[in-house]
Amino acid sequence: MSQLGKVYLVGSGPGDPDLLTVKALRLIRSADVVVYDRLVSAEILALIPEKTKRWSVGKAAGRHCVPQDQINPLLYDLAKRYPAIVRLKGGDPFIFGRGSEEAEFLGERRVAFEVVPGITAAAACTAYSGIPLTHRGMSRIIHIATGHFRDDEPLDLDWSALTGPESTLVVYMGLSNIERITDGLMRAGMPGETPAAAIQNGTTPDHYCLTSRVDRLASEVREAGMAAPVLLVFGEVVRLADVMGGWFLPAAPMPARVGEM
């Protein structure tokens, strides 16, 4: 293992460079090579020194630039050539970031690695929209789910487990399946008038939060022309966006909200 470099699985957060941890920034500035995803913002990539080698493995829904089964051996190969490799990932490496797969692959080959957590979109994008994940009398349970399964497998979630009272549901990567998600929740008993939101490009200058209801969210998101990355939020806490939202003023004007609670 001493002959191999070390791989740092670093979470870069949802986009705002000010949300980087001190440790993440230090590693980005000192790495020999940075392997980064599509969701790492341009502002964060700009923090990489010019002398540092860069390797893009960005993935988009339905279009994989570099498949995961090629990223894993790439990290292993780079560890043979460089002392310090930063694997820079959007959000947190261990929350729908496939960082655990990379860590498992490296560990099996006795490559030293370190995990540097990042602020995940569920926490940051909602906060920037004025939506607390928990709130006394509204929510004391948080569910986090993915709306996109591996290899485009059918979306098969336990909808009834996600619709309980006094809870907040956050769905990552759910834009392409938004109709199935809202229909599944309502079939499982979530009232159609339950507040819901879609947050696009959260925490970035293009941050846009659309607040609506479960039964209207899909149509209003399509009407607004929202594009990935989009985070979906369901629960009574969404109502607080009207009171607590607006503190974050992105450089680009936020489009008018579509629909009402």
Domain ranges of the chain: 6-116, 121-244
Give the model's pLDDT for residue 148.
77
Parts of the chain with a pLDDT under 50: 1, 61-62, 252-254, 256-261
Give the model's pLDDT for residue 100.
96
Longest dimension (CA), the chain: 60
* Cα distance between residue 183 and residue 164, in whole Å: 16
Give the model's pLDDT for residue 260.
41
- Both structure tokens of 133: 């994940």
Is the domain spanning 6-116 CATH 2.60.120.10? The answer is no
Helix (H) or strand (E) holding 121: helix 121-128
- Give this prediction's pTM: 0.89
Give domain 121-244's CATH number out of 3.30.230.10, 3.30.420.40, 3.30.830.10, 3.30.950.10: 3.30.950.10
- Contact yes or no for 84/106 (Cβ under 8 A): no
> Which residue bears the tokens 């680009």?
252
What distances in angstroms separate CA 155 from CA 67, 145, 168, 191, one per listed residue? 21, 11, 20, 21
Give the model's pLDDT for residue 152.
58
Give the model's pLDDT for residue 171.
97
166: β partners: none
**Tens-place pLDDT, residues 92-150:** 999 998 999 999 999 999 999 999 999 999 999 999 999 999 999 999 999 999 997 66
Q: What residues act catalytically?
A: 37, 59
* Cα distance between residue 224 and residue 198, in whole Å: 11
